Amino acid sequence: MLPDGRTATVHVEGNRIEEIGRKREADVVIDGRGKALIPGLVNAHTHAAMSLLRGFADDMPLQEWLSTRIWPAERRLTAEAIYWGTKLACLEMVKSGTTCFNDMYFHMDRAAKAVEESGIRGVLSEGFIDLFDPARAEAQFRQARDVVRAIEGMRCDRVVPALGPHAVYTVSADSLREMRRWSDESGYLVHIHVAETKEEVDGSRRDHGKTPVELLDALGVLGPRVVIAHAVWLEEGEVRMLASRGASVAHCPVSNMKLAVGRAMPLAAMRAAGVTVSLGTDGPASNNSLDMFQTMKTTALLHKFAANDARSAAAGDVFAMATAGGARAMHLDAGAIAVGKLADLVLLDLHRPEMTPVHDLVSNVVYAATSDCVDTVVCDGRVVMEGRRVPAEDEILEKAAAFAAKLAED
């Protein structure tokens, strides 16, 4: 069954959907009876290796959580820990139907290796923080270039580098402008945190006389390759600014609620202005999972609640954000089950109590499905998981747990 309720055979040739309709000869046949086929979900903002810090600290205000718990633990993160943390995150993402994620963290050359091995797609940016210090900026650019070169050197279509200026309160104007130039030259996406908290916006106004979005626009940074994570504290004019520049937004409702960022992201205004909205989990230390099914449902719940209108964030719209919206934000020719699109596909098992009955498949996907409905995952035309079995799962769980325990030790 396809999202629109039709039943059809989907034929994949290479890494793309070649035909939808009649049965044909094929090397690999996956039986979809009793199952639903949806586009792979796109997690448009996360810090995957923070899986190692899942449950390490909760129920704390954002700044206190970062400064007393997360940052000290992150200082103990090694490249090897990040490799295994990313392996763990990819395993969780595969098992919950995510076929592409947009990741910002450290040692991303090692993360890239983990993504390559996982079979799904990663858009990977080395987190860039210069704290307005030119010497540090130079070192950070060197580091970023090394990581980009390493990822390019892998020559894996599924694993692509991006640029990761952390935020306007941690990255200088010069570096932000340089990021935009680099993106223009290379075509790399720019992944940045913007307007997550009121404090951030107030600070930007105080320091620059502009909000973060206004500042980014004044610096010429905004454009169609910019993915803005959070975008909670935006006014109407800023929403229109994003729309006119073609920048996309990665909405992270679970993390925003858990960290109590103070209000709901202005979703209705963004949709009205035509901003591309995608969904993200944020890192598993502030979510605490990478489950995009949960993020879809929470998106619907949050906006119905915040707008005081049960019609807000309807199931079909939310499903589109997690699929087509995410693909558009990632500049990926996927996110739909249509001829010519990349074969990033997920088969959901409908033979489960929470998926019975099927009055409306998309409603079930957004409101009733658990991530364990995911039976089979195809990415770039290859089977990544079938019948929920992923190779080397035991080793990944064991190694990741060991590295996580080390982080908590000191």
Which residues in the 259-278 window bind a second copy by CB under 8 A? 259-260, 262, 264
Minimum distance from residue 404 beta carbon to a second copy (Å): 3
Question: How are the residues of the chain apportioned to helix, strand and coil, as percentages rounded to the nearest 5?
Answer: 45, 20, 35
Nearest to 101 by CA among 345, 344, 326: 326
Report which DSSP code applies to 389. Answer: B
One residue of 353, 387, 389, 410 binding a second copy per CB under 8 A:
353
> Sheet holding 382-385: strands in order across?
35-39, 345-349, 374-379, 382-385
Residue listed under structure tokens 């980014």: 216
Q: Between 225 and 230, name the residue whose CB sits nearer to a second copy.
A: 230
Asked if 308 touches a second copy (CB under 8 A), the answer is yes
One residue of 74, 92, 109, 217 binding a second copy per CB under 8 A:
92
> CB under 8 A: which stretch of 51-59, 147-155, 236-244, 319-327 binds a second copy?
51-59
Residues 160-189 that bind a second copy (CB under 8 A): none
Q: Report the C-alpha gap between 178 and 355 in whole angstroms.
A: 49
Asked if 309 touches a second copy (CB under 8 A), the answer is yes
Q: Report the C-alpha gap between 403 and 235 in whole angstroms.
A: 42
Asked if 35 touches a second copy (CB under 8 A), the answer is no
Minimum distance from residue 359 beta carbon to a second copy (Å): 4
R_g of the chain computed on alpha carbons: 20
Q: Which residues of 232-268 are buried (b: 16+ CB within 10 A; e: fewer)?
A: bbbeeebbbbbbebebbbbbbbbbbebbebeebbbbb
Asked if 346 touches a second copy (CB under 8 A), the answer is no
Asked if 26 touches a second copy (CB under 8 A), the answer is no
Minimum distance from residue 145 beta carbon to a second copy (Å): 32
Q: Between 126 and 291, name the residue whose CB sits nearer to a second copy.
A: 291
One residue of 55, 75, 340, 410 binding a second copy per CB under 8 A:
55
One residue of 159, 163, 171, 300 binding a second copy per CB under 8 A:
300
Residues 310-329 that bind a second copy (CB under 8 A): 310-312, 314-315
Instruction: Give the type of residue at 189.
Output: L
Report which DSSP code applies to 66. Answer: I
Asked if 404 touches a second copy (CB under 8 A), the answer is yes
One residue of 99, 248, 294, 323 binding a second copy per CB under 8 A:
294
DSSP E strand stretches across 81-224: 98-105, 121-128, 159-165, 190-194
DSSP E strand stretches across 22-97: 35-39, 41-46
Asked if 376 touches a second copy (CB under 8 A), the answer is no
Q: Tokens for 162?
A: 């991006």
Residues 62-81 that bind a second copy (CB under 8 A): 62, 65
Asked if 368 touches a second copy (CB under 8 A), the answer is yes
CA quadruple 308, 309, 310, 316: dihedral sign = negative
One residue of 22, 23, 359, 389 binding a second copy per CB under 8 A:
359
Do 121 and 159 form a contact (C-beta atoms < 8 A)? yes
> CB under 8 A: which stretch of 133-141, 149-157, 202-210, 282-290 binds a second copy?
282-290
Q: Between 277 and 302, name the residue whose CB sits nearer to a second copy.
A: 302
Asked if 118 touches a second copy (CB under 8 A), the answer is no
**Bond into 288 cis (ω within 30):** yes
Minimum distance from residue 80 beta carbon to a second copy (Å): 15
Minimum distance from residue 371 beta carbon to a second copy (Å): 6
Q: Tokens for 18?
A: 């070649």
DSSP E strand stretches across 178-264: 190-194, 226-230, 248-251
